[in-house]
Amino acid sequence: MKTRPDSGPARRGTGTGASALRLTGVTKRFGSFVANDAVDLDIAWGEIHALLGENGAGKTTLMRIVTGLYTPDEGGIELDGEPVRFRKPEHALRAGIGMVHQHFTLVPTLTELENLAIAPAAVPWRNGLTEARRRSQEVATATGLRITPDRLVADASVGERQRLEIVKLLCRGARILIFDEPSAALSPGEWDELANLMRRLAADGHAVILISHKLSEVFSVADRYTVLRRGAVSGSGTIAEATPDHLVTLMVGDRMADRPPLPAGTPGPAVLTIRSLDVARDDNQPAGPKALQGIDLEVRRGEILGIAGVAGSGQSELVEVLMGIRPALSGAIELAGRPFTHRSPRRFFRAGGAVIPEDRHHAAIVPGMTLWENITLRSLRSAPLNRQGLLDVRAASAEARRLMNEFDVRADSENLPIGRLSGGNQQKAVLARELSGNPALLIAAQPVRGLDVRAADFVYRSLVAHRERGGAVLLISMDLDEVISMSDRIAVLAHGRIQGVVEAAKATRANLGALMTSSGEAL
Amino acid sequence: MGIFDVAFLVSAITIAAPILLAATGELVSERAGVLNVGLEGVLLVGAFGGYLVMAGTGNIAVGFLGGIVGGLLFGVLMGVLAIETKVDQIVSGIALTLLGYGLTAFLNDDVFSKPRAFDPLPRLAIPVLSDVPVLGPALFTQDAFIYATAVVVVVVALALTRTTWGINLKATGESPVSVDAAGVSVRGLRWAGVLFSGVCAGAAGAYISIGDVGVFREAMTGGRGYLAIAAVLFGGWRLSGLGLAVAIFAVTDATQLRLQAVGDIPREVWVAAALLILVALGTRRVRSAAATSRLDRRRASAAGLAGLAAVAVLVVLAIVRPAVTLPVSLWLAMPYVLALVALAAEGKRRHKAPEALAVPYLRSEV
């Protein structure tokens, strides 16, 4: 870094504590909605500053203002004590503010080096590749972050892509780095590596902003925090003096009642039995690598079985096989006491299955269709909503209204397109549809992802209520705390194998984490 | 040599040049993420623009400029529709095609009641190189447009691989979000792509009218715009593939032109067709060697059997030499049939279309 004359924290030096970025009274309105309300934020050089808040608290809007995607309606931004105004992302980048987006901004079909070379070209015919290579080597010597220049980004792992994203920003002289939910796609090991890197960057004099929901992460790396609630700052301070409870209160406002511990259940006979299931990673290559191997599982009546594991351990393949979307190589599945051999989604639902898909927008709802159509989608094929092939629209609307009431779906009318509802209300509508048929087995894949605390709590309570009624739930989640608090038993899935099944009462983050990494060898 | 002589090569190259130029422009535009389905309309406007200006000035160079301006105007229209107002690109492309057809036909009837004819572009022999046998007359005794096309293709090839601009452009078609995040203007690159495509198609259109034959007729581009779009697809969005695709179309077209004149189908056509199928089978074999899937293998062997059967039939035909001929309209259809086959084969290609092709970019989705 010291080799570059134009900028760099090294020159601004060890003046850690000096203000790097200061927002005063930043307000942003969209119509009548106030996304940011007089937000003050102070980031110092050499610190890791955590920005906390629920979904919709205004974190994203604030960071879009900082990175020049939005211009604030009121308030000012000071960089190094000098007022600045960013009208374009390019301005913020030039000023040294870079963001590692949750969804990486990399082009998979280009090589890593070419991705670094994407930049405004002053002279159109300039070849930026040599320059990019030189800079990436400088970054490598300064921070130890190495890239594989001639590899296609498509061939890189998630952790490697994130590293490339950081190198990209450093190459362009970023001194203030914003990480948006960086751990979402990482395994625990990769997160530790990233945490170390953030500390190293801060020690070098960079300013690091960490946006996260996960308090454990915030407490492990951050120096200070700022909490946003409904667009306004609800508190800030140093992490050393904060407690998780305090931060949660700041985020949520009135202290939410703690989720009651799962009452002991009385599991009945098995609803879903899986025996030595093998699934290929690629349907067209049965001899190729396997996504799932030797899976043995049992989900019983009145039980929530949690599947823990990092993303990509085989969870989505498991769901797809159960639903009959993906063929299995071998193994037997029993659903609701009968062999479930010839699988198809329709047979799955008919046999008493239901599913809350992971991808809400693409798999769970039809955004352009109305709320009542989405809620009654599953029951339109049979009486009473279907009379000799004709749809009883009035009965369907009435049924939808009843379910909206029962599942607390807040919308002005059942005739609204479901795409216009908030994520929480969409998910409640999905719950209403899936649970209304009183299924024997509910597969819930990341059912609270992207939901705020209240909506998540509602989903939790619905799952537990289903369990009390004697239903079985297969809960798939990447969040260990969620799995531990929600399940009766936990199966740990890693590299396509069940590494162990633990009673939830005896499960801790540590012993589940150990199971996840116990067999690291690739298949 | 029969029908495959030097004159045949010359005519194939003359046919290939405008398609190649238009397709190169389309490739640049598609790599930036804008699919200009209205290429046919742009070609027509270029052809008519060139003819109009040529009729006014009598200067063929200025005439070409007129064609380029016509193409540019349609490029601007496409840009406004696709980039600024974010209209569905297929729909706006069809609109452009229809507008091109209608506008040129109407103006041609109304402005020019008397059709005029001009001298086409003169052929320029490049010293020394033009004396090489076969290649000399075919490649180096051509008109200025063909040389210019070659230069443009080489420059585009270099620009796409060796410049920051080229990398930005390719990234825009794949992942505009990334380009925006890097501080590069997605709009700017897409406009550049669309305008470049307009200029290329305008010039190619002018060549079709005043450069090659010296007249304008209604709908005279005869689907070359569609052939260019098909060539980009067939070529897997790579310049090398595009060149191959254009070569195949041009040779087919030149062949059918010749065959229209010859009565019976001569022996070498059967032989050439048999050779083509053999080459295609060979490349398939090499490529599918890696395929492990049972289904793929079964499909490949079925296709292989069908190909060999076709070769056998063709060889028999070449020996027997039956006195058959096809109606002219069927011959005319040959390049288009080939284009259809190319599109059908597209599903199995290694190179995929740019991810963001024909998808308007909305920043709020960052």
Domains and CATH numbers, chain A: 9-104+174-252 (3.40.50.300), 268-352+439-523 (3.40.50.300), 360-433 (no CATH)
Query: Residue B67: inside a domain, yes or no?
Result: yes
Cα–Cα distance for residue pair A311/B133, rounded to 1 Å: 64
Candidates B276, B272, B282, B278; CA nearest to B318 is B272
Identify the DSSP state of A372: H
Tokens of B43: 């070609």
- Asked if the C-beta of B350 comes within 8 angstroms of chain A's C-beta atoms, the answer is no
Give me the residues paired with residue B125 across strands: B141
Cα–Cα distance for residue pair A62/A207, rounded to 1 Å: 17
> Which residues contact residue A180 at a Cβ distance below 8 angstroms, ignoring those fewer than 6 apart?
A60, A63, A99, A100, A101, A102, A211
pLDDT at B296: 60
Rounded alpha-carbon distances, angstroms, from residue A514 to A491, A519, A520, A522, B37? 13, 9, 11, 17, 56
Q: Which of A107, A124, A284 sits opposite B171 (nearest CB)?
A: A107
Neighbours of A25 (CB within 10 A): 13
Using a CB-CB cut-off of 8 Å, the residues of chain A touching B363 are 69
Cα–Cα distance for residue pair B66/B61, rounded to 1 Å: 9
Instruction: Decide if pLDDT at A385 tops 50.
Output: yes
Q: Which of A69, A119, A127 sits opposite B366 (nearest CB)?
A: A69
Using a CB-CB cut-off of 8 Å, the residues of chain A touching B184 are 90, 118-121
User: Are the beta carbons of B178 and A106 separated by less than 8 Å?
Assistant: yes
Rounded alpha-carbon distances, angstroms, from residue B169 to A130, B89, B357? 18, 18, 12
Using a CB-CB cut-off of 8 Å, the residues of chain B touching A284 are 293, 295-296
What 3-state class would DSSP assign to A23?
strand
Omega of the bond leading into A447 within 30 degrees of 0 (cis): no
Using a CB-CB cut-off of 8 Å, the residues of chain B touching A121 are 163-165, 168, 184
> Which residues contact residue A74 at a Cβ distance below 8 angstroms, ignoring those fewer than 6 apart?
A25, A26, A27, A38
Cα–Cα distance for residue pair A503/A265, rounded to 1 Å: 12
Angle ∠(A148,A149,A153) on CA atoms, nearest 5: 75
Q: How far is B250 from chain A (nearest CA, A)?
A: 31
Neighbours of A131 (CB within 10 A): 15
Interface probe with B: pick from A109, A162, A178, A361, most Cβ of B within 10 Å: A109
Cα–Cα distance for residue pair B37/B230, rounded to 1 Å: 10
Instruction: Decide if pLDDT at A389 tops 60.
Output: yes
What 3-state class would DSSP assign to A148?
coil
Cα–Cα distance for residue pair A199/A221, rounded to 1 Å: 7
Which CATH number is B63's domain given?
Answer: 1.10.3470
Interface probe with B: pick from A91, A97, A118, A152, most Cβ of B within 10 Å: A118
Q: How far is A250 from chain B (nearest CA, A)?
A: 28
Query: Residue B256: inside a domain, yes or no?
Result: no
Instruction: Decide if pLDDT at A254 tops 70.
Output: no
Angle ∠(A71,A73,A74) on CA atoms, nearest 5: 115
Phi, psi of A45 (to 5 degrees): -60, 145
Identify the DSSP state of A240: G
Using a CB-CB cut-off of 8 Å, the residues of chain A touching B162 are 127, 129
Pairing of β A97-100 and β A270-280: unpaired
Chain A residue at shortest CA distance from B296: A284
User: Are the beta carbons of A124 and B167 separated by less than 8 Å?
Assistant: no
A261 versus A235: which is more confidently predicted? A235
User: What is the residue whose two structure tokens read 């990494």?
Assistant: A517
Angle ∠(B125,B150,B137) on CA atoms, nearest 5: 30
pLDDT by position in tens, chain B (length 366): 466 788 888 889 999 999 999 999 999 999 999 999 999 999 999 999 999 999 888 889 999 999 999 999 999 999 999 999 998 999 999 999 999 999 999 998 887 767 788 888 888 888 888 888 877 887 888 889 999 999 999 999 999 988 999 999 999 999 998 898 888 889 999 999 999 999 999 999 999 999 888 889 888 998 899 999 989 988 889 898 899 889 888 988 888 888 777 767 777 778 888 888 888 777 766 665 555 555 566 666 777 788 888 888 888 888 887 777 777 777 778 777 877 776 666 555 556 788 888 888 887 543
Record the pTM: 0.72
Chain A residue at shortest CA distance from B295: A284
Instruction: Decide if pLDDT at A191 tops 90.
Output: no
What 3-state class would DSSP assign to B291?
coil
- Total count of domains within chain B: 1
User: Are the beta carbons of A119 and B164 separated by less than 8 Å?
Assistant: yes
Using a CB-CB cut-off of 8 Å, the residues of chain B touching A94 are 183
User: Are the beta carbons of B164 and A101 separated by less than 8 Å?
Assistant: no
pLDDT at A280: 86
A471 versus B299: which is more confidently predicted? A471
Cα–Cα distance for residue pair B200/B17, rounded to 1 Å: 11
Instruction: Decide if pLDDT at A374 tops 80.
Output: yes
User: Are the beta carbons of A127 and B164 separated by less than 8 Å?
Assistant: yes
Written as one string, the DSSP assignment of A484-497 is HHH-SEEEEEETTE
pLDDT one-digit tens code per residue, A49-76: 999 887 667 888 899 899 888 889 999 9
Phi, psi of B322 (to 5 degrees): -70, 150
Q: How far apart are the first and last CA of chain A?
A: 40
Query: Residue B40: inside a domain, yes or no?
Result: yes
Angle ∠(A471,A472,A477) on CA atoms, nearest 5: 135
pLDDT at B290: 55
Number of H helices, E strands in chain B: 14, 2
Instruction: Decide if pLDDT at A1 tops 50.
Output: no
Query: Residue B137: inside a domain, yes or no?
Result: yes
Most confident of A131-145, A147-161, A430-444: A430-444
Q: Which of A93, A118, A172 sits opposite B167 (nearest CB)?
A: A118
- Asked if the C-beta of B293 comes within 8 angstroms of chain A's C-beta atoms, the answer is yes
Using a CB-CB cut-off of 8 Å, the residues of chain A touching B177 are 103, 105
pLDDT at A18: 83
pLDDT at B182: 84
pLDDT at B132: 81
Chain B residue at shortest CA distance from A100: B181
Q: Which of A94, A105, A127 sits opposite B181 (nearest CB)?
A: A105
Q: How far is B298 from chain A (nearest CA, A)?
A: 13
Chain B residue at shortest CA distance from A67: B181
Query: Residue B99: inside a domain, yes or no?
Result: yes
Using a CB-CB cut-off of 8 Å, the residues of chain B touching A89 are 180-181, 183
- Asked if the C-beta of B183 comes within 8 angstroms of chain A's C-beta atoms, the answer is yes
User: Are the beta carbons of A115 and B366 separated by less than 8 Å?
Assistant: no
pLDDT at A9: 41
Radius of gyration of chain B (CA): 22
Chain A residue at shortest CA distance from B31: A109
Q: How far is A90 from chain B (nearest CA, A)?
A: 4
Query: Residue B149: inside a domain, yes or no?
Result: yes
Domain that holds residue B357: 6-237+347-365
pLDDT at A253: 66
Cα–Cα distance for residue pair A453/A450, rounded to 1 Å: 10
User: Are the beta carbons of A105 and B168 separated by less than 8 Å?
Assistant: no
Q: How far is B230 from chain A (nearest CA, A)?
A: 22
Query: Residue B122: inside a domain, yes or no?
Result: yes
Cα–Cα distance for residue pair A255/A246, rounded to 1 Å: 9
Phi, psi of A444 (to 5 degrees): -115, 105
The arithmetic mean of pLDDT across residues A10-14, rounded, is 39
Tokens of B173: 């078609």
Chain A residue at shortest CA distance from B356: A107
The answer to whether A302 touches A315, Cβ cutoff 8 Å, is no
Rounded alpha-carbon distances, angstroms, from residue A210 to A66, A101, A219, B285? 14, 11, 11, 53
User: Are the beta carbons of B178 and A69 separated by less than 8 Å?
Assistant: no
Helix axes B6-31, B164-174, angle to 10 degrees: 70
Rounded alpha-carbon distances, angstroms, from residue A478 to A180, A181, A336, A498, B18? 18, 14, 27, 15, 56
pLDDT bucket at A10, cuts 50 / 70 / 90: very low
Cα–Cα distance for residue pair A170/A173, rounded to 1 Å: 5
Chain B residue at shortest CA distance from A117: B164
Give me the residues paired with residue A297 across strands: A274
Instruction: Decide if pLDDT at A372 tops 80.
Output: yes
Using a CB-CB cut-off of 8 Å, the residues of chain A touching B293 are 284-285
Tokens of A6: 């134009």
Cα–Cα distance for residue pair B249/B272, rounded to 1 Å: 15
Cα–Cα distance for residue pair A468/A253, rounded to 1 Å: 30
Using a CB-CB cut-off of 8 Å, the residues of chain B touching A88 are 183
Candidates A205, A239, A186, A181; CA nearest to A63 is A181
- Asked if the C-beta of B297 comes within 8 angstroms of chain A's C-beta atoms, the answer is no
Query: Residue B38: inside a domain, yes or no?
Result: yes
> Which residues contact residue A77 at a Cβ distance below 8 angstroms, ignoring those fewer than 6 apart?
A21, A22, A23, A26, A65, A66, A83, A84, A85, A86
Q: How far is B175 from chain A (nearest CA, A)?
A: 6
Instruction: Decide if pLDDT at A474 tops 90.
Output: yes
- H or E, element range at A510: helix A509-518
- The interface predicted TM-score of the complex, written ipTM, equals 0.78
User: What is the residue whose two structure tokens read 């927002």?
Assistant: A23
Q: How far is B193 from chain A (nearest CA, A)?
A: 13
pLDDT bucket at A430, cuts 50 / 70 / 90: very high
pLDDT at A378: 85
> Which residues contact residue B6 at a Cβ distance below 8 angstroms, ignoring those fewer than 6 apart?
B134, B137, B138
Candidates A35, A167, A187; CA nearest to A100 is A167
- HEC states along A420-451? HCCHHHHHHHHHHHHHHCCCCEEEEECCCCCC
Candidates B249, B171, B224; CA nearest to B26 is B224
Phi, psi of A207 (to 5 degrees): -105, 135
Tokens of B163: 């410049």
Q: How far is A120 from chain B (nearest CA, A)?
A: 5
What percent of chain A clears pLDDT 90, i.e. is strictly above it? Answer: 31
User: Are the beta carbons of B355 and A109 separated by less than 8 Å?
Assistant: yes
Half-sphere exposure of residue A199: CA atoms within 13 angstroms, side-chain side: 12
pLDDT at A125: 73
